[in-house]
Amino acid sequence: MWWRVRSSELRTSAAAHELRQAYRLYTLQNARQERKIVQAITLLRSAGVEPLLVKGWAVARLYPERGLRPYGDIDLCVRPEQYATAVDALAAPAAETLAVDLHKGLPQLHRPSLDDVYERSQLVTLGEIDVRILGAEDHLRYMCIHMLQHGAYRALWLCDIAVVLESLPENFDWEYLLRGDRRPADWVASTVCLAHEVLGARLDGIPVAERTRYLPRWLLPSVLSQWSEEEHYMDIGSIAYSFRHPAQLLKALRLRWPNPIQATVRVGGPFNELPRLPFQLLECVLRTAYFITQIPTLVRKRSFRAMGGWGTTPVATGEGKKE
C-alpha cells in the first residue's frame, strides 16, 4: 500500500505515514531474519544436517524489496533420519534466539521420494552462505498445498503464489509439478488458477490455464469468506490450552470448525461440485480422534513442566505452534 501511494498526493497523509512506518519495520525485521537464517543453517550443518528452507525468505526473495513481504518463523525441513540430530542442535544455547519451525521431511508435497526433492533443490546465496531451497516446481507445489491445508485464510499466501508464478524459470517443468497422485495435482492446478482469478496472475502459456473454467463453485466464495474473518484458529492458543481455560473453549471450538478448503485437503478429498459438509465432518472426527490420543502426552508434559522441567524447544507441533 505504501508503494501505491508514495508517489501520489496521499503520501503526506496520516494513513500513508503509518503505511510507510510498517514498510520500514518489515524491511528491518527481514534484514534481522536473514541473519538468523544464516545462524540456524550454519548451526545445523555443523551437526551434519542439511536443511531445506521453505516459505519465509524462500518466497520473500522473489519480491522487489525486503519490506514488501514480512515473515516470522524460520521453516526448515530435514530428512526424517536427521530429525533427532536437528532437534538437539537447535536446543543448544546458540539457538536460543532462533525461532525455527522444524519439520520432519516434506509429506505435504505428496512426493514418493525425498531424495528426488533434494536432488532437484537449489542453492541460493544469502549473506556468506548458500541456502538450500526447493526447486522451482516443488516450491510452487509446496506453496499451493500449504495454503490449502490452512484453509487459505491469509491473502498474503495467494499473493506469494502469484509472485512465484510470475518468477518461473523458462525451463519450468509443468509435467513434474503435477506428477503423482491426481488429487494433489488437481489442488495445485486449482490454486494456480485461483491466483489468476483473484489477483490477475499471468497464466500465458501455462498448461493448467484451462482449469480456470472448471473451478468448483464453492472454492472462490470460501477463500473470500476466510479473508473477511477477523479471527482464525491460528490466532489463539492450542486446543489443550483452551481446555485448561474454559472461557476460551467455545471460541476455540468455533474457530476450529474447518472451512471447505481445509477439510477437503486434510482428508484427501477431490475438488469437485459435491457438498463439502461430509468432508468437514470427517475432518473434525479425525482431528478429535488424534487429540484424544495425545491427551496422555499433554498431561505428562504439563506435569513435568510444573516440576521445573523443560522450558521451550524449537520443535513445532502439527499446527505450527511452539511446544
pLDDT for 211: 67
Which residues lie below 8 Å from residue 63, measured CB to CB, with a gap of 6+? 69, 163
How far is 161 from 107, CA to CA, in rounded Å?
Answer: 20
How far is residue 317's CA from residue 267's CA, in Å, rounded to a whole number? 19
CA 237-242-247 angle, to 5 degrees, is 115
Q: What is the mean pLDDT of each run of 10 residues along the chain (323 residues)?
A: 90 94 93 95 96 96 90 93 95 90 93 93 95 96 95 93 93 92 93 92 78 83 90 64 67 81 94 94 89 74 49 42 37
Which of 100, 87, 10 has the alpha carbon at shortest distance from 55? 100
Q: Determine the pLDDT at residue 317.
A: 39
Rounded Cα distance, 279 and 183, in Å = 14
Q: Provide the residue ranges of all domains of the chain, joining segments of one domain with +.
A: 1-134, 137-305
Q: How far apart are CA 221 and CA 318, in angstroms?
A: 27
The Cα 158–Cα 192 span in angstroms is: 9
Q: Which amino acid is at 251?
A: K
Beta strands at 100-104 and 74-78: parallel, antiparallel or unpaired: parallel
Q: What does pTM read for this prediction?
A: 0.85
Give the SS3 label for residue 151: coil
